[in-house]
Amino acid sequence: MGFLDIDNTTKSYGAVEVLHNVDISIEEGEFLVLVGPSGCGKSTLLNMIAGLEEISSGEIRIKDQVMNGVHPSKRNIAMVFQSYALYPNMKVGQNITFGLEMHGTPKPEREKAMREVANLLQIEQLLDRKPGALSGGQRQRVAMGRALVRDPDVFLFDEPLSNLDAKLRVDMRTEIKKLHQKLGTTIVYVTHDQIEAMTLSTRIAVMNGGYVQQLGTPQDIYDTPANIFVATFMGSPAMNVVPARVAVENGKPMARVALHDGTETALPFSQDNMADWDGKDILLGIRPETITDEDAADRKSSNIAHMTNRIVVTEPAGSDTFVTMTMGGKDVIARMRSDAEVHPGADFTFAVNMEKAVAFDPATEARIAP
Amino acid sequence: MAQAANADFKTRLQTWLPKLVLSPSLAMVLIFVYGFIAFSVYLSFTDSRLLPSFGWVGWENYSKLWRLSHWETSITNMGIFALLYIGICTVLGLSLAIFLDQKIRAEGFIRTVYLYPMALSFIVTGTAWKWFLDPGIGLENVMQSWGWTSFEFDWIKNRDFAIYTVVLAAVWQTSGFVMAMFLAGLRGIDNEILKAAQMDGASNWNLYRRIIIPQLRPAFLSAFVILSHLAIKTFDLVIALTGGGPGRATELPATFMYSYTFSRNQMGIGAASATIMLMTIAAIMIPYLYAELREKK
Amino acid sequence: MRSFLKTKTAIVLALTVSAGAAHADGHGGVEVLHWWTSGGEAAALNVLKDDLEGQGVGWTDMPVAGGGGEQAMTVLRARVTAGNAPTAVQGLGFDILDWANQGALANLNDVAAAEGWDDVIPAALQQFAKVDGKWVSAPVNVHSTNWVWANKAVLDANGIAVPTTWEEFTAALDTLKAAGVTPVAHGGQAWQEATVFDAVAMSVLGPDGYKAAFIDLDESVLGGDGMKEAFDRMVVIRENVDENFSGRDWNLATAMVINGEAGFQMMGDWAKGEFLNAGKVPGQDFLCFRFPGTSDQVTFNADQFMMFDQGGAVSPEQAKLATAILSPSFQSAFNVVKGSVPARTDVSNEAFDDCGKKGMADLAAAASSGNLFGSMAHGHANPASVKNAIYDVVTAHFNGEYDSETAVAELVDAVSIAK
Amino acid sequence: MMAHATQDTAIRTGRAVRMLIYLVLVLFALFYMLPLYVMLVNSVKPLDEITGGGMMNLPQVWTLAPWAKAWSSAQIGVEPTGLSPYFWNSIKMVVPAVAISTILGALNGYVLTKWRFRGDTILFGLMLFACFIPFQIVLIPMARMLGLMGLAGTTWGLVLVHVVYGIGFTTLYFRNYYAVFPTELVRAAQIDGAGFFQIFWRILLPSSGPIAVVSIIWQFTNIWNDFLFGASFAGADSQPMTVALNNLVQASHGVKEYNVHFAGAILAALPTLLVYIVAGRYFVRGLMAGSVKG
């Protein structure tokens, strides 16, 4: 039994099931991120934890208490909304203490709690203003203050950073992470931004089409994605997925991949069990940062393969230069050092770290190796 | 344990409260609107005269109704009236709103002047209107006394034109309100779109025709609902202005129904005319409501 | 069918009236629904109120004006349906009979017997106050509607004597027209047109034809040549009306006669009040005479107060009200103001002016010679549905929608639908 | 801020066009003012000047006597009470009826947008269609219902009637307004522990000013001006202003004092006129926020 258990939970509207048998259990102090494209059901799941949507079947438990049918205010949770949902007619101070007031906390205690939170978030000077007079970042802080002041068991965040500009978003991300580390609270956080998911979470649930595709630590998710959806959704630029055929050469399973001119190159697998797929088609997943020039190849890797392919486009991005080529009829992106000598139209020899490569079954799109 | 049960009850109450809150209104509407409509439809098949009575006569009231030339007049009048009233109010309201939206000085004052007729009932303004339209003492007389001796304005006395004076007074009352609705719509349009269109070289005329007016669709729809409901209910106006005359030339279904139900003690025929009116309203409004509400879902 | 209706609605009414009884005025008074709100009438009615209050009977006033009592009748219907009927309600002609047939009215026979109503109230009037041998309402007055009002100065200036026949009348109209005076002052409202038509039809059809057409609704008379002749005469009158008549209130038409803009007006005796108010003297400044060809007949309408059943018996307050209404002193005082004549024939004519005295004499004569008829135009000849059906045809014809031939056919048809 | 979205509009008009626009606007202003002018000018003339003709003429002798008479001594029923007692009857009826119908409309709008349930659109459609019922057909059954409820002839009976036939519109106004009110605020308040009514009272209602103005203006005008229900369902001591005015103006037989009639008519119209003049400026704003949005 965890701190928050989502036990075989489904959600249907009429005959349409939109969430299918979700099973997630997290411990106290964990930071769970629900990530996925819009419409994947992540917000619905969050709302079900909050009690804003009914649970069609299964159970949600917080601290072993079944929450099904319990009113949101009785679940000891707090929520930060995408739009912040600050009450426009109340001052910041009233916004923060409204929840305490509704729960019957006496005024002096409310004032005290409000001061503490305001101090923590450095918004003391805003307490007498109306939300309309605040900037986006300030509103964000107030919204967090409103959640914090309640000292809830679980914090729920519904895409809290998506309305901020890029710079502020990064700052607030760090802020949230700091708060989590400082306070050790349990957080469920919904976002569609995989970087937020990776940077903030202790665990990630990647969702799509109403299913949890994969639940795991950020590293698990990144290195061993359960399927092509997870593989391409997490990471930027996305993982390259190219058609390949397995061929055992000299007892070693190799991935044969077509290059720009139709000639094939053989990239050796690190996993011997790929020999089982001899002669069959697979999809080969290679992350952009594992395709480099020779000098930048991972020295710890035991399986660096080389291939020469033609560069189509180069995109210098300051810290890195992205190179696009064609493999298996698809665009493949490589992430090179910024000082790499790459020119569009030229042939170039790439080093591929096959230790990190992932193979998928083209029929089920599930990972078969590693 | 007791506390848990209590909390449970509270939560359950919270889930029922919305429906509980809605239910008095719903009950009122069901009884006082739909119940009464059903009652009225039932009466149209009975021999009710002075008071409701329950002797079943089948379609007799309907066949009598359609034999009355008077009923045909009121239906025709309704068609003319509704068409002109809704059309003129919409065009006039939109035009005035556009004019008033050009950074006009004293806009607030002018707006109030345009809007105030909506505040007055025809019990209040009926006599003034009657005077104004009366050739003997009204506009015609005034114009002639000012030297325009050939001026003629005797519509209210003319069987073929009297209905247009009813339209005139009705337009006077409501067009300002429609203007306010369109003005509100105009004020809600994003200014950046207008700037963009101007950079594209659109003239003012094209700006309104192609960009602004199409964006006023919600205002058009609201105006249509309000105007059509007012048109159907038009009653006081006719009573105050013409009393249905000259002859029966300005009789409308609402006045027809009232006169058969209450003045003529032929409640059955009155109810039959009410039923036909309601069905007409339903035929127009239900598709509209259906489209509107489904869209918003 | 009629009796079926009666029993069914009687049940409804029994329920409502008994509900109303519980609600009845707790202060031992009367609630009076009426439409006499103009200065003179209301003041006259105030005499009645003071009289009753002197006897310890409270008066709750419930005035609802509009449409010559139509609005008040609508209110009455709502009140009765709600089970909250007023104790006394001003009523006219067939409305009274309709309510009596619904079983809603109280039986005033005890009061009537004590006061001897049967002897002093004309039989033609009793038809509208007694149903199945029971008195149900107390008559206040008798208006006669076949009067013509004339400006004496205008007539004298054009050498016109009081016309006594249709021919003399049309000749007078022609003379006035030639002199540039509007011959007939008329207000274009359905009831005013019907009032004129009433007198015209009486002059053409005579008393028997009038009764056959409007009281018995005999189709052969309604659709006969006489009726066509009556409509033709309406055309003549229409030709002698100014172009601005439509929608005009009757009192404005009267003002035209007072001011000498017009020669004649066909209107009931209430028009007299306008002349008196303008400081005119009957016989000197203005003339009143019966519509040519109806000098022996009187078409009347009578205001009465219906007494609504208050739980099976006549309440003492109602009895007092009824008695007060028919007291000779009130009858005289009220009718002097109103322009009408007393409902009882034994009231002294001392307080009345010349027109009033003539009215009283005419009424007594017509009543005794069988020439007193309820006015079609004022709901004393046939039920409201028929009356209004006739209005429709008369007003449509007067406004030029039908020619006389069509009007006759339409009249037969309209009456048959409304019956 | 939004109220003046096109105030700084880039639409430019030439001098001649602007003159034309002003001309049209002023002409229509005159047209709208005309009946009020006729009423005002004739309410301060002696009666003989009116019958003398010249409905547009200014009075030669100014008098306020017709106003005084209409207010306090004109014959309405058997007693010369003027319109004043009826004025208070109207106030006693209009204030609760407007308040109740507006609050119910607001609650309905709140439920229909923020607590949606299966079939809510149909219910709303039913309520909206109710706006279109011609009042003449409900008189008799309504009278019966009021009788059964013991409300016949009372002010509360009239209040009920006006509430019943007003909630369609008030619900429409508030529903459209609340439809664009952020649902997240309601959810936030729920999590904060606010109950159904607390959310309504503390979160939605404080932001409902503009649409409340529209609803109040609409209801106030309609109820104040109603004649049919007032005449049919009022008792002797609850007859509203319009019925009294009608008694004054429609007096069947007798001299018509037009100057008193006009003074009475303006008196009867004053409250609604005042509401439009005072609250009119919020009206466009309220309409914008609610009823003309999709």
Domain boundary among A233, A252, A281: A233
> What pLDDT score does D290 carry?
57
Per CB-CB distance under 8 Å, the chain D contacts of A78 are 191
Instruction: Please name the fold of domain C144-299+372-418.
Output: D-Maltodextrin-Binding Protein; domain 2 (3.40.190)
Q: Could you give the CA distance from residue A52 to residue A69 in angstroms, rounded to a whole number?
A: 10
Domain that holds residue B33: 1-43
- D55 within 8 A of B131, measured Cβ to Cβ: yes
Handedness of CA D27, D28, D29, D31 (dihedral sign): positive
User: CA-based diameter of chain D, in Å?
Assistant: 74
Contact B10 A71 (CB under 8 A): yes
Q: Could you give the CA distance from residue D280 to residue B241 in angstroms, rounded to a whole number?
A: 27
Please indicate, yes or no, whether residues B238 and B291 belong to a single structural domain of this protein: yes
> What pLDDT score does C72 carry?
87
Q: At residue B296, does pLDDT exceed 70?
A: no
> Least CB-CB distance to C49: which of D78, D232, D255?
D78
Please indicate, yes or no, whether residues A331 and A214 belong to a single structural domain of this protein: no
> Least CB-CB distance to A85: which of D185, D195, D198?
D185
Handedness of CA C200, C204, C208, C214 (dihedral sign): negative
- A320 within 8 A of A335, measured Cβ to Cβ: yes
Please indicate, yes or no, whether residues A26 and A151 belong to a single structural domain of this protein: yes
Residue D195 carries which side chain, given as an amino acid letter? G
Is residue D252 very low, low, confident or very high in pLDDT (cuts 50, 70, 90)? low
Please indicate, yes or no, whether residues A196 and A118 belong to a single structural domain of this protein: yes
> What pLDDT score does B190 carry?
74
Please indicate, yes or no, whether residues D273 and D218 belong to a single structural domain of this protein: yes
> Least CB-CB distance to C247: which of B49, B156, B263?
B156
Q: Which residue of D has its CA nearest to A146?
A: D192
Q: At residue B39, does pLDDT exceed 50?
A: yes
Six token digits for residue C224 = 């006969």
- A319 within 8 A of A232, measured Cβ to Cβ: no
User: Per mean pLDDT, which of C227-236, C242-251, D234-243 is the most reliable?
Assistant: C227-236
Six token digits for residue B152 = 């003629």
* Residue showing tokens 């089920």: A364
Q: At residue A166, does pLDDT exceed 70?
A: yes
Domain that holds residue A318: 240-369
Q: Which residue of C has its CA nearest to B67?
A: C417
Distance between the two ends of chain D, CA-based, in angstroms?
20
The three-class DSSP label of residue A367 is strand
Query: Which of A49, A52, A84, A87 best tests the D interface by mutation, with the highest count of D CBs <10 A?
Result: A87
- Total number of domains in chain A: 2
Please indicate, yes or no, whether residues A222 and A356 belong to a single structural domain of this protein: no
pLDDT (mean) for D39-50:
86
The CATH number of whichever domain residue A307 belongs to comes to 2.40.50.140
Residues B197/B201/B205/B207 CA torsion (nearest 10 deg):
0
Nearest-Cα distance to chain B for A73, in Å, is 10
> What pLDDT score does C39 carry?
66
Q: Could you give the CA distance from residue D244 to residue C37 in angstroms, rounded to a whole number?
A: 10
Please indicate, yes or no, whether residues D102 and D50 belong to a single structural domain of this protein: no
Is residue D255 very low, low, confident or very high in pLDDT (cuts 50, 70, 90)? low
The mean of the pLDDT values for chain D is 84
Q: How many CB atoms lie within 10 A of CB A126?
A: 23
> What pLDDT score does D254 carry?
59
> Least CB-CB distance to A89: which of D182, D187, D207?
D207
- What is the b/e burial string over D158-168, where b = at least 16 CB atoms within 10 angstroms of the residue's CB? bbbbbbbbbbb
Question: What phi, psi does B141 have (nearest 5°)?
Answer: -60, -45
Contact D147 C43 (CB under 8 A): no
Residue D294 lies in a domain: no
Please indicate, yes or no, whether residues A29 and A60 belong to a single structural domain of this protein: yes
> Least CB-CB distance to C81: which of B51, B69, B157?
B51
> What pLDDT score does C385 carry?
87
Please indicate, yes or no, whether residues A308 and A332 belong to a single structural domain of this protein: yes
Please indicate, yes or no, whether residues A73 and A215 belong to a single structural domain of this protein: yes
> What pLDDT score does D6 carry?
41
Q: Which of residues 154-183 of D touch B (CB under 8 A)?
A: 163-165, 167-168, 171, 179
Q: At residue C19, does pLDDT exceed 70?
A: no
- Total number of domains in chain D: 2
Residue B48 lies in a domain: no
Structure confidence by residue, pLDDT tens digits, B170-195:
999 999 989 988 988 888 777 777 77
Q: Could you give the CA distance from residue B129 to residue D34 in angstroms, rounded to a whole number?
A: 9
Total residues found in chain A within this entry: 370
* Residue showing tokens 């990972």: A367
Closest Cα to residue D243, out of D106, D87, D100, D129?
A: D87
Contact B7 A69 (CB under 8 A): no
- C108 within 8 A of C137, measured Cβ to Cβ: yes
The mean of the pLDDT values for chain C is 86
Is residue B1 very low, low, confident or very high in pLDDT (cuts 50, 70, 90)? very low
Please indicate, yes or no, whether residues B158 and B238 belong to a single structural domain of this protein: yes
Q: Which residue of A has its CA nearest to D206?
A: A89
User: What CATH number has the domain spanning C2-143+302-358?
Assistant: 3.40.190.10
Contact D255 C79 (CB under 8 A): no
- C374 within 8 A of C149, measured Cβ to Cβ: no
**Residue A181: Cβ-neighbour burial (10 angstroms; 0-12, 13-18, 19+):** exposed
Residues A112/A115/A119/A123 CA torsion (nearest 10 deg):
160
- C363 within 8 A of C300, measured Cβ to Cβ: yes
Query: Which of D181, D192, D201 best tests the A interface by mutation, with the highest count of A CBs <10 A?
Result: D192
Is residue A324 very low, low, confident or very high in pLDDT (cuts 50, 70, 90)? very high
The residues, ordered by sequence, that sit 6+ positions from B60 with a Cβ below 8 Å of its Cβ are: B268
- Contact of B13 with chain A, judged by CB distance below 8 Å, is answered with no
Touching, C vs A (3+ Cβ pairs under 8 A) = no
Please indicate, yes or no, whether residues A205 and A286 belong to a single structural domain of this protein: no
Whether C2-143+302-358 shares its CATH topology with C144-299+372-418 is answered yes
Per CB-CB distance under 8 Å, the chain A contacts of B10 are 71
Nearest-Cα distance to chain C for B157, in Å, is 5
Six token digits for residue B149 = 């001796």
Per CB-CB distance under 8 Å, the chain A contacts of B8 are 69
Please indicate, yes or no, whether residues B74 and B4 belong to a single structural domain of this protein: no
Q: At residue C417, does pLDDT exceed 90?
A: no
Per CB-CB distance under 8 Å, the chain D contacts of C255 are 51
Residue D74 lies in a domain: no
E-only strand ranges, A124-279: 154-158, 186-191, 203-208, 211-216, 240-249, 252-258, 264-268
Domain boundary among A213, A233, A253: A233
E-only strand ranges, D19-111: none
Q: Which of A172-176, B84-88, B131-135 has the lowest mean pLDDT?
A: B131-135
The mean of the pLDDT values for chain A is 90
Please indicate, yes or no, whether residues B88 and B14 belong to a single structural domain of this protein: no
Per CB-CB distance under 8 Å, the chain D contacts of C19 are 147-148
Please indicate, yes or no, whether residues B172 and B260 belong to a single structural domain of this protein: yes
Residue B49 lies in a domain: no
Domain that holds residue D97: 84-289
Q: Could you give the CA distance from residue A210 to residue A10 in angstroms, rounded to a whole number?
A: 9
Q: Could you give the CA distance from residue D275 to residue B43 in angstroms, rounded to a whole number?
A: 41
Q: What is the DSSP letter of D46?
A: -
> What pLDDT score does B8 carry?
65
Q: At residue C7, does pLDDT exceed 80?
A: no
Q: Which residue of B has its CA nearest to A65?
A: B4
Please indicate, yes or no, whether residues B106 and B5 belong to a single structural domain of this protein: no
Please indicate, yes or no, whether residues B271 and B183 belong to a single structural domain of this protein: yes
Q: How many CB atoms lie within 10 A of CB A8?
A: 12
> What pLDDT score does D294 carry?
39
D contact chains, 3+ CB pairs < 8 A: A, B, C
Q: At residue C104, does pLDDT exceed 80?
A: yes
Q: How far is CA C218 from CA C200, C221, C225, C379, D266, in A?
A: 18, 6, 13, 17, 50
Q: Which residue of D has its CA nearest to A148?
A: D192
Is residue D32 very low, low, confident or very high in pLDDT (cuts 50, 70, 90)? very high
Of residues D50 and C197, more confidence is placed in C197
Residue A187 carries which side chain, given as an amino acid letter? I
Q: Which residue of B has its CA nearest to C245?
A: B157
Domain boundary among A184, A211, A233: A233
Distance between the two ends of chain B, CA-based, in angstroms?
42
Contact C1 B47 (CB under 8 A): yes
